[in-house]
Amino acid sequence: MFFDSALDDTNALSVIDPVLRDIAGWGAEVRRAGMAAADALAEIDRDDRPRAVVAGGPNGRLFRAVLEPICPVPFVAWPHTGLPGWAGPLDLVIVVCPGGVGEEELSAVAEARRRGCALLVAAPVDSPVYDAAQGRGTTFVPAGSLDPTAVAVPVLGALHRMGLGPETDAPAVADALDDVAERCGPGVPSDRNPAKELALVLADANPVVWGGSVLAARAARRVADALRSASGRPVVAGDDDQIVPLLQAAPEPDVFADPFEDGATAARPTLVILDDGAEESSGGPARARLEAAAEQGSVRVQQVRAVDGPGIGRFAALLATGRFAAAYLALGLGRPA
């Protein structure tokens, strides 16, 4: 059973206050990371273009999602130990380690130094990763936050200065996150709060989350993880080829079922579309297929939009909205947020 009233009840909301404060503070984390890196970014000049860029460690896939469509050289995310066998002196290796200690990050840095690769490293000053990266050919960005996405913003700014990525402005990303916090905060009523609205829509549903662009698809996977943890239900994120069959196979809705009887109805899917303003998310063929399949299967469709600001800002705004919604969903279901 889902307790709708809890989403606008001050006492009930106090239970998840630490979680909500953490999400609302994401913009401040981005600002701190940007300020910590400002001096280092100002000293970066566009140098010779590398043969390829390798993002090592567990945070590489986010950089691939931002850079792969526009990077003028081949880009590889390498979430494994070490580096690809072909990486060498002509290549740039990116390593982001907000905590300054990480086995995969240290392995990537050590291997890059051994092979003579150029390095772009973000980590706390005087940390093990910082110490391991020191040397000629290393560009160091001080990590001003423990949040990987926040630290990724100034690293993307560094890559832009190197001529390898889009312009990324930390204040603009922080503003996008602050806007989500303002619109999705606990004091905003459910009828005007996108995150509470999404939680209400998903109260008795199995979410199916789709993002059309590369960044929106990555946000979809992380939102699905948050919703799965919040609800304890199966939550799917994937591309249209994976999701369309699920929508077409949705059980017929039973208009006579009593929602208060245990086991009266099986949870049906609800399609959650994350729209970051990219053509693929806003109106491409994949989205048309999904919406047609949802209509055929009488599946509800709920859209979450974040179409202003830089790409990483839209990604973060979609993810923040999903995190808020997951917290409210857990509260309504009486589960830990």
Phi-psi region of 65 (alpha: psi -120 to 50; beta: other; left: phi over 0): alpha
Same fold for the domain at 4-25+173-333 and the one at 47-162?
A: yes
Owner of token pair 């059973």 = 1
The pLDDT, as a whole number, for residue 50 is: 95
Q: What are phi and psi of 24, to 5 degrees?
A: -65, -25
Give the tokens for residue 335.
């589960």
Give the tokens for residue 174.
């922080």
Sign of CA dihedral 208, 281, 274, 190: negative
Low-confidence ranges of the chain (pLDDT < 70): 254-266
- What's the longest Cα–Cα distance across the chain? 72
pTM for this model (two decimals): 0.92
Give the tokens for residue 327.
């917290």
Task: Output b/e per residue, 133-160; b: 16+ Cβ within 10 A.
Answer: beeebbbbbbbbbebbbbbbbbbbbbbb
Angle, nearest 10°, between helix axes 194-201 and 170-184? Answer: 60
Give the tokens for residue 148.
């990987």
- Return the DSSP state at 191: G
Q: Where are the domains of the chain?
A: 4-25+173-333, 47-162
Determine whether domain 47-162 maps to CATH 3.40.50.1820: no
The pLDDT, as a whole number, for residue 143 is: 96
CATH topology of domain 4-25+173-333: Rossmann fold (3.40.50)
Q: How many CB atoms lie within 10 A of CB 182?
A: 12
For 127-146, what is each residue's pLDDT tens digit?
999 999 999 899 999 999 99
Give the three-state DSSP class for 143: coil
Give the three-state DSSP class for 54: strand
Residue 90: exposed, middle, or buried by beta-carbon count in 10 A (0-12, 13-18, 19+)? middle
Give the three-state DSSP class for 51: coil
What DSSP line would sit under 148-178, residue for residue? Answer: HHHHHHHHHHHHHHTTSS----HHHHHHHHH
Give the three-state DSSP class for 310: coil
For 234-255, what is each residue's pLDDT tens digit?
999 999 999 999 999 888 776 5
How many CA atoms does the CB half-sphere of 162 hold within 13 Å? 25
The pLDDT, as a whole number, for residue 260 is: 52
What DSSP line would sit under 124-153, residue for residue? Answer: -TTSHHHHHH-STTEEEEE---S-HHHHHH
Cα–Cα distance measured from residue 253 to residue 35, given in angstroms and rounded to the nearest whole number: 52
